[in-house]
Protein backbone atom coordinates (compact mmCIF):
# COMPACT_ATOMS: atom_id res chain seq x y z
CA UNK A 1 0.00 0.00 0.00
CA UNK A 2 1.27 3.44 -0.86
CA UNK A 3 1.24 6.41 1.53
CA UNK A 4 -1.95 8.52 1.49
CA UNK A 5 -0.21 11.57 0.01
CA UNK A 6 1.02 9.49 -2.92
CA UNK A 7 -2.45 8.01 -3.40
CA UNK A 8 -3.84 11.54 -3.55
CA UNK A 9 -1.20 12.53 -6.10
CA UNK A 10 -2.12 9.55 -8.29
CA UNK A 11 -5.81 10.51 -8.08
CA UNK A 12 -5.03 14.11 -9.01
CA UNK A 13 -2.91 12.91 -11.93
CA UNK A 14 -5.91 10.88 -13.12
CA UNK A 15 -8.01 14.06 -12.91
CA UNK A 16 -5.43 15.88 -15.03
CA UNK A 17 -5.59 13.10 -17.61
CA UNK A 18 -9.36 13.46 -17.69
CA UNK A 19 -9.15 17.20 -18.31
CA UNK A 20 -6.51 16.83 -21.04
CA UNK A 21 -7.06 13.52 -22.82
CA UNK A 22 -4.99 14.72 -25.79
CA UNK A 23 -1.87 15.02 -23.61
CA UNK A 24 0.31 11.94 -23.19
CA UNK A 25 1.39 10.99 -19.66
CA UNK A 26 5.01 11.85 -20.43
CA UNK A 27 3.99 15.29 -21.65
CA UNK A 28 1.93 15.83 -18.51
CA UNK A 29 4.88 14.87 -16.31
CA UNK A 30 7.15 17.19 -18.29
CA UNK A 31 4.63 20.02 -17.81
CA UNK A 32 4.52 19.31 -14.09
CA UNK A 33 8.32 19.42 -14.05
CA UNK A 34 8.28 22.90 -15.60
CA UNK A 35 5.55 24.03 -13.20
CA UNK A 36 7.45 22.59 -10.22
CA UNK A 37 10.50 24.62 -11.16
CA UNK A 38 8.37 27.73 -11.66
CA UNK A 39 6.41 27.44 -8.40
CA UNK A 40 9.00 25.88 -6.08
CA UNK A 41 12.38 26.33 -7.80
CA UNK A 42 12.82 22.56 -7.52
CA UNK A 43 12.94 19.83 -10.13
CA UNK A 44 10.67 16.79 -10.00
CA UNK A 45 13.64 14.87 -8.63
CA UNK A 46 13.96 17.14 -5.58
CA UNK A 47 10.39 18.21 -4.88
CA UNK A 48 8.62 16.81 -1.81
CA UNK A 49 5.31 15.02 -2.28
CA UNK A 50 3.36 17.75 -0.48
CA UNK A 51 4.86 20.40 -2.76
CA UNK A 52 4.14 18.31 -5.85
CA UNK A 53 0.54 17.87 -4.75
CA UNK A 54 0.26 21.65 -4.39
CA UNK A 55 1.68 22.16 -7.90
CA UNK A 56 -0.77 19.60 -9.32
CA UNK A 57 -3.71 21.26 -7.56
CA UNK A 58 -2.70 24.68 -8.92
CA UNK A 59 -2.41 23.22 -12.42
CA UNK A 60 -5.80 21.49 -12.08
CA UNK A 61 -7.45 24.72 -10.94
CA UNK A 62 -5.91 26.77 -13.76
CA UNK A 63 -6.81 24.16 -16.37
CA UNK A 64 -10.39 23.91 -15.09
CA UNK A 65 -10.77 27.70 -15.19
CA UNK A 66 -9.38 27.85 -18.72
CA UNK A 67 -11.70 25.13 -19.96
CA UNK A 68 -14.72 26.75 -18.29
CA UNK A 69 -13.89 30.06 -19.96
CA UNK A 70 -13.80 28.53 -23.45
CA UNK A 71 -16.75 26.16 -23.04
CA UNK A 72 -19.54 27.01 -25.47
CA UNK A 73 -22.50 28.66 -23.85
CA UNK A 74 -25.58 26.53 -24.41
CA UNK A 75 -28.59 28.41 -25.67
CA UNK A 76 -31.86 27.11 -24.23
CA UNK A 77 -34.37 26.21 -26.96
CA UNK A 78 -37.01 28.63 -25.63
CA UNK A 79 -34.94 31.76 -26.13
CA UNK A 80 -35.78 34.43 -28.69
CA UNK A 81 -32.73 33.42 -30.72
CA UNK A 82 -34.05 29.89 -31.09
CA UNK A 83 -37.56 31.13 -31.85
CA UNK A 84 -36.29 33.52 -34.50
CA UNK A 85 -34.54 30.72 -36.35
CA UNK A 86 -37.71 28.64 -36.66
CA UNK A 87 -40.07 29.30 -39.56
CA UNK A 88 -43.29 31.05 -38.65
CA UNK A 89 -46.31 28.80 -38.36
CA UNK A 90 -49.44 30.30 -39.92
CA UNK A 91 -52.43 30.60 -37.64
CA UNK A 92 -55.62 29.18 -39.11
CA UNK A 93 -58.86 30.99 -38.33
CA UNK A 94 -62.02 28.95 -38.13
* Number of domains making up the chain: 1
Average pLDDT over residues 21-33: 94
Domain carrying residue 43: 4-70
89 inside domain: no
93 inside domain: no
20 inside domain: yes
82 inside domain: no
Asked if pLDDT for residue 24 goes beyond 70, the answer is: yes
- In this predicted structure, what is the pLDDT of residue 32? 96
d(CA 33, CA 30): 5
* Helix spans in the chain (H): 4-19, 25-40, 49-70, 80-85
15 inside domain: yes
36 inside domain: yes
- In this predicted structure, what is the pLDDT of residue 94? 55
d(CA 38, CA 35): 5
Each residue's pLDDT tens digit, 35-94: 999 999 999 999 999 999 999 999 999 999 888 888 766 555 555 555 555 555 555 665
- In this predicted structure, what is the pLDDT of residue 66? 85
Amino acid sequence: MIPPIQQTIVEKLASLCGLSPEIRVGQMLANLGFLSEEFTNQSLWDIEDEQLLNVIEIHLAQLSERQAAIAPQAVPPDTDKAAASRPAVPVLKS
